[in-house]
Structure 1
Amino acid sequence: MIEEEYIRLIFGLKLKQIRTDKNLSLFGLAKITGLSKSYLNEIEKGKKYPKRDKIIILAEAMDVTYDQMVSLKLDKNLAPIGEILQSRILKEIPLEIFGIKESNLIDIIAEAPLKVNAFISTLFEIAKHYNLTRESFFLAALRSYQEAHNNYFEDLELQVEKFAKAYSIDLTKKLKLEDLEEILTEEYGYTINNEELTTHKELIYLRSVFVPKSKTLLVSKDADISQRMFIYAKEIAYNYLEISERLYTFSWIKFESFDQVLNNFFASYFAGALLIPRKELVKELKVIFERKSFEAANFTALIARFTDSPETFYQRLTNILPKDFNLKNIFFLRFNYKPERNDFQLTKELHITNLLEPHGNENNEHYCRRWISIKTLQEIPFSKESHLFDSQISSYNHTDNEYFVISSATKDPFRSGYYRSIALGIMISPHSQSKIQFLNSPDIKKRRVGVTCESCAIADCAERAVPPKKLERKLRNEATDKVVQSLMEKYS
């Protein structure tokens, strides 16, 4: 059933639409119905829903049927608003986490329905054009939520410290798999099954499934230690934080609601904070940041000090750097790659403070091959190393922005024949240079980069995958416009 609030709003929108079609002002409608102008105004804003006798009066005054007045169907001009109200999407996304009251949003819709309708229609068209799914919409909302909080959540950090104290866990030492497994089985009554998943070919890419009824955690026997650590830590988070609206599979996921998306993030954040404790990481980072030169070996040793998963480590940096070093102009990227296809897919991104380059594109354009994250991905299939690390200063040719970027490439832990790279970029500025001493070092290699080959102006680029078609089209249009303007002046 549609909520009463939405029924009131739809009725109000319809009343206002019919009234304006009849060229009636609120004052005029009040005069011919005998109803007060303020009362009619509250109806149109969705504040009140009239009783049957009042609806009959309104219908007769505007020469429409009673059924037409009470129908929830809006004409084509307002249909998208009706769709979004009846879809419950406003209920699925907890607007309060963005500081928005649903009542305020409804007031905005009621105040200018045609403008809001045009905006909603535009969003729908963009979504269809780029084939955005419901899951994509939820994940975009989650990224916005993370970015609004600089991806740092103090309450979850404190919960991890409370948990560690309650279970006598020493956060200065690297956790052991056995410690987490014991908590799951002894404290939370879990049964862990390592065989079932491998008997189903359809689940070849799954690492875990949780069956809540029997508290059975099915874990793939192909899952490595770091994957198991993260899976166990997330399950502990769901229980310790008392989260019931949750996901049950990893790494393939199916979202039923935005609450599941948000709670999955909370559990993942807790897991990362438990596996890589904040205070210990901050202490180690300060040592590295105070050095005058950047040594790759020191950084990879730091990753290994906490985890076997570069992705978990880089994700944790996106929590720590904004909070403890006030480095908020950072980005996180994850690329997937299959050599046979020569296709680089951006599968995860996060931008703190600014929408920094690079960011995802939906036009299937070719990402710049000069990025360090692409370079490491191209090299890892032929490397004897299981973890290929590199760094550079990326100087974007179309802006004055420069970023210190680190990247780790490994085999994709979830798909055979695939590889992935994780990249973290820090904008170079006087502030970041004061926090990270080695950013001033001339020894760090620097490269001019673009965003996509199609829009890049770097001439004679040996790494270019395709011609700069988008840029060429833009330049042609500019040249055309220049000549047209000159003709306008000549014959004016």
Structure 2
Amino acid sequence: MDEEDIKLIFGLKLRQIRTDKNLSLFGLSKLTGLSKSYLNEIEHGKKYPKPDKIFTLSEKLDIPYDQMVSLKLDKNLAPIGEILKSKILKEIPLELFGIKESDLIDIVSNAPAKVNAFISTIIEIAQHYNFGRESFFLASVRSYQEANNNYFDNIEQKVLDFVKSYQINIGQSISSNELEEILIEEYNYSIKNDELDKHKDLDNLRSVFIPKSLTLLVANDIDESQRTFIYAKEIAYNFLEIKERLYTFPWILFETFDQVLNNFYASYFAGALIIPRKNLTAKIKDVFKEPIFYKDSFEHITNEFNASPESFYQRLTNILPKEFNIKNLFFLRFTHKLNDTKFHLTKELHLAHQHAPRANESDEHYCRRWVSLQVLKDLSKSNENSKFDLQISNYENEGVQYLVLSTATKDPFKENKFRSISIGLLINKQLERKIKFLKDPNIPTRNVGVTCERCAITDCEVRQAPPKVLNRASKNKKIAAIVQQLNDTY
């Protein structure tokens, strides 16, 4: 452990010993002759006492010296020790959430039995569902996005600074050639397009950056929008002066949380550069004011920017909360293999509302009535390159409805694999005022669930499994009612 953690542990132990002996800080001060402020700093991990002071504490509290200085914690405080030893708090920038490590430890130590039981439960659940360091980091970034409504004004401003500095015309679609020239001329990059294709084991890797020679290796068969995004991310790393970064796209592994967070910042910068905020806002306003939803018009907008459908939908999750005050939304990415019965939720974002679904590890079956899955099935049976559709999803059990727009495309790197990108907007009075086409009779409304195992729809024609979770809950409710009846009788 480092010095700061040792201070924290000593402080926690001293506080626990003091409270076990029903001593206030004032009382401990009188007992030991040490000042109350000095003892308070020790308990909060700000100071570590010198040996003579530890000896005084040991003698007056009747605790062996070796026990006082030992890093071993009793069972109530043991989970805190595990957290400190794991270094997880060091790897996550708690300051992003306005939290100090010492404050977090302080909260935990004030109610050790209950809070540590909770921490132990979380650790056990994480182990049971194979929720490792990687998942924890990604979940932390997602929580950071959600806490900020996925809009970061400082990065938006940096994009405008970049555009002004390099005289880029954002009134028209940005090309990869334009960004490639900046990388070469301004940042001394060397770009090679033929190296990655020589290594079959690299699978779907699209780019690798070699920092020592400033060489960017790019897969030769990527399309124009993918190349533009890769170049825009590289520019972001340089213009934002990011040092701790990931070197492959998509990423393979990471060593620190900062690498994951900086990867998000670079991706955000790239999306904001390729799809300018003002341009997209104006076009979406035009779509929203129409009483009828015109699919061709919406698809035209998605193709107007030099961006993939995923980048376009991601950008919507930035713009809608900021420019339209639509914060109750979710973003989902599903993948599907031809003739496979499974659909995998591989990316998600939920803003300000407890949306369904969320990725789960319980091997349940996502609702086949979702448009997110339907466009995947439709595309897999056609010769088209993409498929767009929308629906109003009515969650009868929850009493809520979402307007869901979804686009499916072929995976450019994997044969017979497809992905769908969706955005869902909670339908309420506010959304009805902002989007005129919500009452368009051509938009289908479907009753949906979250997973088949939790769905109460009895006449579902595409059910994949019985509602066992729902049945179990219903059975337990009946048992509870009978037990209550017996209590009332006897």
Task: Decide: shared fold, TM above 0.5.
Answer: yes
**TM-fit CA distance, 1:28:** 6.7
The residue that corresponds to 1:207 in the other structure is 206
SS in 2 for 1:141: helix
Q: Greater shift after overlay, 454-463 or 373-382?
A: 373-382
Q: Is the 8 A contact 1:408 1:423 kept in 2?
A: yes
The residue that corresponds to 2:383 in the other structure is 384
**TM-fit CA distance, 1:60:** 3.6
Q: 1:25 aligns with which of 23, 33, 52?
A: 23
TM normalised by structure 1 equals: 0.95
Map Cα deviations across residues 42-81 of structure 1 (whole Å, 9 max, x no partner). 4333343221012123334445443322122223332210
**TM-fit CA distance, 1:286:** 1.3
1:83-482 alignment runs, 5 A limit: 83-482=82-481
The reply on whether 1:488 has 2:481 as its aligned counterpart is no
After superposition, the CA RMSD in angstroms is: 1.9
SS in 1 for 2:130: coil
Q: Distance in 1 between matches of 2:166 and 2:38?
A: 61
Q: Distance in 2 between matches of 1:119 and 1:45?
A: 22
Map Cα deviations across residues 223-278 of structure 1 (whole Å, 9 max, x no partner). 22111111001001111111111111111332211111111111101101111111
Q: Is the 8 A contact 1:307 1:313 kept in 2?
A: no
- CA 1:106/1:77 → structure 2, altered by over 3 Å: closer, same or farther? closer
Q: Distance in 2 between matches of 1:156 and 1:32?
A: 55
Q: Is the 8 A contact 2:175 2:306 kept in 1?
A: no
- CA 1:264/1:308 → structure 2, altered by over 3 Å: closer, same or farther? closer
Name stretches of at least 5 consecutive residues in structure 1 with no aligned partner.
none
Name stretches of at least 5 consecutive residues in structure 2 with no aligned partner.
none
Q: Is the 8 A contact 1:389 1:407 kept in 2?
A: yes
SS in 1 for 2:390: strand
Q: Distance in 2 between matches of 1:326 and 1:130?
A: 36
Q: How many positions carry a matched residue from both structures?
A: 489
* 2:113 maps to amino acid: L
- CA 1:28/1:178 → structure 2, altered by over 3 Å: closer, same or farther? closer
Percent identity among equivalent residues? Answer: 61
The residue that corresponds to 1:2 in the other structure is 2
**TM-fit CA distance, 1:357:** 2.0
- CA 1:417/1:3 → structure 2, altered by over 3 Å: closer, same or farther? farther
* 1:3 maps to amino acid: E
1:29-40 alignment runs, 5 A limit: 33-35=32-34, 39-40=38-39
* 1:423 maps to amino acid: S
* 1:118 maps to amino acid: A
- CA 1:455/1:31 → structure 2, altered by over 3 Å: closer, same or farther? same
SS in 2 for 1:137: helix
Q: Is the 8 A contact 1:336 1:419 kept in 2?
A: yes
**TM-fit CA distance, 1:339:** 2.8
Q: Distance in 1 between matches of 2:36 and 2:242?
A: 48
Q: Is the 8 A contact 1:198 1:204 kept in 2?
A: no
Q: Distance in 1 between matches of 2:153 and 2:222?
A: 31
Q: Is the 8 A contact 1:13 1:113 kept in 2?
A: no
Q: Distance in 2 between matches of 1:187 and 1:270?
A: 18
The residue that corresponds to 1:55 in the other structure is 54
**TM-fit CA distance, 1:137:** 0.9
Q: Is the 8 A contact 2:224 2:306 kept in 1?
A: no
Q: Distance in 2 between matches of 1:175 and 1:169?
A: 8
**TM-fit CA distance, 1:194:** 1.4
Q: Distance in 1 between matches of 2:156 and 2:28?
A: 58
SS in 1 for 2:272: helix
- CA 1:19/1:107 → structure 2, altered by over 3 Å: closer, same or farther? closer
Q: Distance in 2 between matches of 1:388 and 1:345?
A: 18
Q: Distance in 1 between matches of 2:176 and 2:296?
A: 26
Q: Greater shift after overlay, 83-92 or 433-442?
A: 83-92
Q: Distance in 2 between matches of 1:29 and 1:288?
A: 69
Q: Distance in 2 between matches of 1:65 and 1:33?
A: 15
Q: Is the 8 A contact 1:44 1:110 kept in 2?
A: no
**TM-fit CA distance, 1:19:** 4.9
Q: Distance in 2 between matches of 1:15 and 1:101?
A: 20
- CA 1:473/1:348 → structure 2, altered by over 3 Å: closer, same or farther? same
Q: Distance in 2 between matches of 1:47 and 1:115?
A: 25
SS in 2 for 1:105: helix
Q: Is the 8 A contact 2:394 2:447 kept in 1?
A: yes
**TM-fit CA distance, 1:352:** 1.4
Q: Is the 8 A contact 2:228 2:306 kept in 1?
A: no
The reply on whether 1:73 has 2:72 as its aligned counterpart is yes
Q: Greater shift after overlay, 53-62 or 309-318?
A: 53-62
- CA 1:77/1:178 → structure 2, altered by over 3 Å: closer, same or farther? same
